[in-house]
Structure 1
């Protein structure tokens, strides 16, 4: 019994020494493990960016300041629209029969769309006049200048001769940084150019918007009334739609109010066709419908040896 106890007491120090030795070996291994972990962490953002370039966040402000047409909910009563439309025709085109229900439905849908477009443009102009828009444009102007300065520094660096032992490191990391800087600067320039184009629309008034919407709706309305008696009085039909949808306000107290309304609509369409504002609106629409260009970043953004 005593002998056995003595053997256990003698073996205990040996066990502790073995455990300490194992711990020391583990501690010796830890710096390498931590170094690898730190290296992986430092490259995580680069790796994620390269692997997700197709879905990378883009600096594209159109969804912030251009309001969606489909999101607008105009209020037009179908029965009231029909009554006002037919009343307008009876006074200015009494020989033209009332349109068939199917044609009226088509015109009613065009009226809804026109009201949606007018509402979207009014909200867009309000957004462009907002403090958020001004602050965003000021920020972009400063950032574009800042990255232009950064580009000059990078170009200046290339004039200096790099030590031979740093070439490989420079080609991996500095070149990748230049590509990233180039992409960020390009996105900033694109966003700045876009907001500068939008800023001109802040001058649009309600009359400009209504005239643009009428002119842009003209072709689709003509498609609805094609091969019907209304196709013979296209200007009257367009004015009747604007009147019935209350797209353009009218003064029914005037003598020959509807005749004056028709003349006003014709004058608006003529001015809109010649207006530089219309060209600006069309250019903005084209820019809005453009898909942001793909990133220019190359695969070497993420250093191969660090994967």
Structure 2
């Protein structure tokens, strides 16, 4: 198995704003040995669904995985789903993959069961890279397709402006520091784009917020980068957080961004506020204007779960 990024096999017409059927929050985490797999949400579309998955490991080396051969998806009714790869970002100790499954889960489905296998790491040696399987044969996750609501009233903003972002720490995601997943699964729809908050990964001294943006032609969206797009995060305790993009991916019709949020979200925070505006996009002036925002989210925090 190769650790190279597989070529996307799903056409852009299947994942776009016009096909979006909603988001399902997820808190599914599977841990075995020195590796864990996290399902960040389920993004429902007319012809299928997107599963953003995150792998974290303490094993040394570059992580790799081919979901086409290493992921089995079924629901509680026994239905099996086809799997295709959309995008993948691999690094030392962390790998994020967007997987397409088809068909879209039917309304009567209450649970998705994921079985992940074939995870590998590439150990660098003088003779080149050597692939080795990660300890643990299979990681099993169950995603509740009818979860509790995560929305909450937007909390009052603290006085003062948002702190200026600093360079992200390297690595931003670490297996040893992972403390849990705060499900979000919320979307805000504008005329030419939909902004989706997937989930907030909680670590010892920081968090990572995952954001997706969907659009229709002729507008094309891009990941947030320092200086392109603005994101503010605060909580009901009066804390404003620094927010820094750490990586992203894009194809026609969609983009994904991971953002480092510091400091770590306090356990007694009951509500988080998130605001996004001036998101990057390319298209006619009237189309690109749909990304100006603001897109505001109130999220039930750790103390409300």
TM-score, normalisation: structure 2:
0.18
| Bigger fraction of residues in helix | 1
| Bigger fraction of residues in strand | 2
Structure with more contact order per residue of length (Cα contacts < 8 Å, sep ≥ 6): 1
